[in-house]
């Protein structure tokens, strides 16, 4: 064995030991994060023994060949917070940023921001289905009444334009006042709008939900606005990938993933509602979180073993260097 061959084997052994130590140390951190998954490192032999004249053989060197994520279900714990959610079964929550980039997570520790939009700790929007188009959109506290096309236009106008008179709404929509007035009356009876008299005017305001409303989520992922009479809002969307090992870590850490071509063709997952039997998606558990499946005791035990191996390999390197120095001295 040449000096460079021996040192290469020991050096790679030290490097792979350090990588495995970092993985287990990260698992200890992951064990405290809801929905986080444990990671395992796999080693492979890479070095060779050099006998001269082009003759080689497999040597003792190792390197980190791959990392594998354990996506098995973690335990569910009750929290009592209405915006905490856990998936009981397969699937991922869908998140997206201001640019429309999608991300995926099992960590359902969410909250409503000051605009009444459901977000995660990084400020990413939690995706739900638009009840009319089925497209993915932000999850808000608003209920979603099924009304006529004109009724929907009036509600949209009140949401964007604020409190207005019937005449102002008619002008903004380009609709005859004679059409708007009865539609407003119908919306008022259904309590989708409220009105108040201010001087000679009757002012209308939408009653679909505002920041601060008390809400919950059912097992199918529908938002239930308790302040608005237990009426339903949008439905939380879930994603599923055929190859979970193809998911990659995102800039938001190891608990939020990005889709890749290896995870699904074009990186695009199957998307459905909680409990979708065709896709095999799990149900939603409200006021609960999924625990990490990373176990601190086992990681601590393995970490101790890896640290002992690292120390032993370091000692072997010192012995090798001393022996090589002695051999060199003989030939001098």
Residue labelled with tokens 């993985």: 23
Strand partners, 125: 96, 119
Whether 1 has a pLDDT exceeding 60, the answer reads no
Cα 109 to chain centroid, rounded: 10
Q: What is the pLDDT of residue 31?
A: 76
Strand partners, 141: none
The answer to whether 238 and 272 are in contact (CB under 8 A) is yes
What pTM did the predictor assign? 0.77
Sequence-distant contacts of 173-179: CB under 8 A, at least 24 apart = 175/150, 179/150
**Token code pair at residue 157:** 């106008």
Whether 18 has a pLDDT exceeding 70, the answer reads no
- Tens of pLDDT, residues 73-93: 999 999 999 999 999 999 999
CATH code of the region 149-206: 1.10.10.10
Whether 293 has a pLDDT exceeding 90, the answer reads no
Q: What is the pLDDT of residue 197?
A: 94
Report the distance separating Cα 176 and Cα 162, nearest Å. 20
Report the distance separating Cα 181 and Cα 106, nearest Å. 47
Secondary structure class of 8 (helix, strand, coil) = helix
Name the band, by pLDDT with cuts 50, 70 and 90, for residue 40.
confident
Give the pairing type, strands 201-206 and 193-198: antiparallel
**Could you tell me where in the chain the CATH 1.10.10.10 domains are found?**
149-206
Geometric angle at alpha carbon 34, from 20 and 127, rounded to 5°? 115
Name the band, by pLDDT with cuts 50, 70 and 90, for residue 62.
low
Whether 234 has a pLDDT exceeding 70, the answer reads yes
Report the distance separating Cα 260 and Cα 246, nearest Å. 6
Q: What is the pLDDT of residue 32?
A: 76
Q: What's the length of the chain?
A: 332
The answer to whether 63 and 92 are in contact (CB under 8 A) is no
Q: What is the pLDDT of residue 277?
A: 95
Q: Averaged over 44-58, what is the pLDDT? A: 53
Q: What is the pLDDT of residue 2?
A: 46
Q: Averaged over 124-141, what is the pLDDT? A: 93
Whether 328 has a pLDDT exceeding 90, the answer reads no
Name the band, by pLDDT with cuts 50, 70 and 90, for residue 307.
low
Average the pLDDT over each of 27-31, 193-197, 213-217, 230-234 and give the range with the smallest value: 27-31
Whether 183 has a pLDDT exceeding 60, the answer reads yes
Positive or negative: CA dihedral 221, 227, 228, 229: positive
């Amino acid at each position: 064995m040449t000096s460079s061959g021996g040192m290469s084997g020991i050096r790679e052994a030290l490097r792979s030991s350090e990588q495995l130590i970092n993985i287990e140390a990260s698992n200890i951190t992951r064990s405290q994060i809801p929905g986080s998954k444990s990671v395992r490192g796999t080693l492979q032999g890479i070095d060779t023994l050099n006998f001269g004249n082009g003759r080689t053989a497999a040597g003792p060197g190792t390197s980190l060949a791959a990392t594998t994520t354990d996506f098995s279900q973690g335990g569910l714990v009750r929290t009592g917070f209405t915006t905490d959610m856990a998936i009981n079964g397969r699937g991922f929550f869908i998140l997206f940023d201001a640019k429309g980039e999608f991300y995926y997570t099992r960590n359902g520790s969410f909250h409503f921001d000051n605009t009444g939009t459901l977000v995660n700790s990084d400020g990413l929007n939690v995706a739900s289905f638009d009840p009319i188009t089925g497209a993915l959109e932000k999850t808000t506290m608003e209920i979603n009444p099924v009304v006529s096309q004109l009724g929907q236009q009036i509600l949209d106008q009140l949401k964007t334009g604020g409190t207005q008179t019937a005449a102002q709404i008619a002008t903004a929509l380009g609709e005859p006042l004679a059409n708007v007035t009865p539609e407003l009356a119908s919306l008022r009876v259904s309590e989708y709008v409220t009105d108040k008299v201010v001087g000679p005017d009757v002012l209308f305001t939408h009653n679909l939900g505002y920041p601060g409303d008390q809400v919950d989520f059912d097992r199918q992922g529908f938002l239930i606005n308790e302040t608005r009479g237990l009426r339903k809002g949008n439905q939380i969307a879930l994603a599923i990938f055929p190859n979970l090992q193809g998911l990659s870590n995102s800039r938001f850490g190891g608990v939020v993933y990005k889709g890749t071509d290896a995870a699904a063709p074009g990186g695009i997952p199957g998307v459905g509602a909680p409990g979708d039997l065709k896709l095999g998606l799990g149900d939603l558990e409200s006021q609960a979180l999924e625990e990490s499946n990373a176990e601190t005791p086992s990681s601590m035990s393995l970490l101790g073993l890896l640290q002992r191996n690292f120390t032993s390999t370091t000692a072997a390197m010192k012995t090798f260097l001393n022996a090589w120095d002695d051999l060199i001295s003989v030939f001098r």
